[in-house]
């Protein structure tokens, strides 16, 4: 399966599928079923989680005018011309915007399902307990993110918590991209997508006074998690986060 025998493969715009087909993997690993699985992974992990983040964050920003106003003021200063997008590193260094991003990571959770890990060759010793080698173990990101001992008033959308003394030490409890050697491969791409998209949505559409967009028949329930479909999902009755453009 190569581009010479398959003219439908366009090498001028390479994709993940080009890399797989040209990777040197045996033919048994290059079946349509394998490519279908890769496509599902790209769609589910590469777009669904980021879309969920942006949906929840736009609700929380529009439902909290003080937060939105403070963010808008910072972005107005950092992006004087809304048609010109600053470099990623400049946006990522904005203190309040970074706090908003982290609060979004905390409340959107990333993958909601527990991700199983196994230590195959050694016993694990944690808090006085011994976990035998080969034992499947897992955790839920939301248990960390909503722990009131780590994050007081955990259900409250409050980016200011990330500007308080000691906040940097709490970043280790964010597990929205998982942790360790199995951390999400796309975390840097997802972070860049979130930083650019959220900053431009607020800067271009919300307006200087924060009145360019308003919520339409949308409540907290439309972003609350009621289902674990690997990713978090809200109520079946929810119509999603809906807005009016003024």
pLDDT at 182 > cutoff 80: no
Listed in sequence order, the DSSP H helices in the chain are 16-21, 32-43, 49-63, 65-78, 88-92, 95-108, 141-145, 167-170, 187-200
Mean pLDDT, the chain, integer: 84
Q: What is the DSSP string of 176-201?
A: TT--GGG--TTHHHHHHHHHHHHHHI
Q: How confident is the model at residue 230 (pLDDT cuts 50, 70, 90)?
A: low
CA–CA dist 218, 78 (Å, integer): 30
- Is 40 a member of any domain? yes
Enumerate residues 6+ apart whose C-beta is below 8 A from 27: 1
Residue bearing the bigger pLDDT, 106 or 9: 106
pLDDT at 5 > cutoff 60: no
**H or E stretch including 245?**
strand 243-245
Residue bearing the bigger pLDDT, 141 or 104: 104
- Is 109 a member of any domain? yes
Q: Which domain holds residue 214?
A: 31-245
Q: How confident is the model at residue 4 (pLDDT cuts 50, 70, 90)?
A: very low
pLDDT at 207 > cutoff 70: no
pLDDT, tens only, 41-72: 777 666 778 888 999 999 999 999 999 999 99
- Is 11 a member of any domain? no
CA–CA dist 118, 101 (Å, integer): 31
Domain count, the chain: 1
- Is 239 a member of any domain? yes
Phi/psi of residue 179, nearest 5 degrees: -145, 165
User: Which one of 27-31, 102-106, 185-189 scores highest in mean pLDDT?
Assistant: 102-106
For the segment 215-231, the average pLDDT, to the nearest whole number, is 78
- Is 19 a member of any domain? no
Q: What is the pLDDT of residue 2?
A: 45
- Is 181 a member of any domain? yes
pLDDT at 208 > cutoff 70: no
Nearest of 3, 22, 26, 45 to residue 230 by alpha carbon? 45
Phi/psi of residue 117, nearest 5 degrees: -130, 150
How are beta strands 124-126 and 243-245 bridged, if at all?
unpaired
Tell me the CATH number at 231: 1.10.630.10
CA–CA dist 180, 145 (Å, integer): 17
Q: How confident is the model at residue 96 (pLDDT cuts 50, 70, 90)?
A: very high
CA–CA dist 202, 244 (Å, integer): 14
Instruction: Judge contact between 136 and 114, C-beta under 8 A.
Output: no
- Is 192 a member of any domain? yes
- Is 146 a member of any domain? yes
Q: At what angle do helices 49-63 and 187-200 cross, to 10 degrees?
A: 30
Q: What is the pLDDT of residue 122?
A: 93
Instruction: Judge contact between 218 and 241, C-beta under 8 A.
Output: yes
């Amino acid at each position: 399966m190569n581009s010479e025998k398959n003219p439908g493969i366009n090498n001028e715009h390479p994709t993940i599928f080009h890399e797989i087909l040209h990777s040197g993997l045996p033919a048994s690993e290059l079946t349509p079923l394998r490519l279908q699985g890769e496509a599902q992974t790209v769609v589910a992990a590469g777009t669904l989680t980021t879309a969920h983040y942006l949906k929840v964050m736009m609700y929380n920003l529009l439902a909290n005018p003080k937060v939105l106003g403070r963010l808008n003021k910072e972005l107005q200063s950092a992006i004087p011309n809304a048609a010109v997008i600053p470099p990623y590193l400049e946006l990522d260094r904005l203190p309040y915007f970074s706090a908003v991003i982290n609060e979004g990571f905390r409340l959107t959770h990333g993958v909601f399902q527990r991700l199983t890990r196994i230590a195959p060759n050694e016993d694990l010793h944690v808090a006085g307990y011994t976990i035998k080698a080969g034992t499947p173990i897992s955790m839920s990101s939301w248990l960390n993110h909503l722990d009131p001992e780590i994050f007081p008033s955990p259900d409250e959308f409050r980016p200011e918590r990330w500007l308080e003394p000691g906040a940097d030490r709490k970043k280790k409890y964010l597990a929205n991209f998982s942790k360790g050697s199995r951390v999400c491969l796309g975390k840097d791409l997802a972070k860049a997508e979130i930083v650019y998209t959220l900053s431009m949505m607020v800067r271009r559409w919300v307006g200087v006074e924060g009145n360019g967009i308003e919520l339409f028949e949308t409540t907290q329930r439309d972003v609350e998690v009621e289902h674990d479909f690997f990713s978090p999902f809200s109520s079946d009755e929810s119509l999603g986060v809906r807005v009016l453009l003024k």
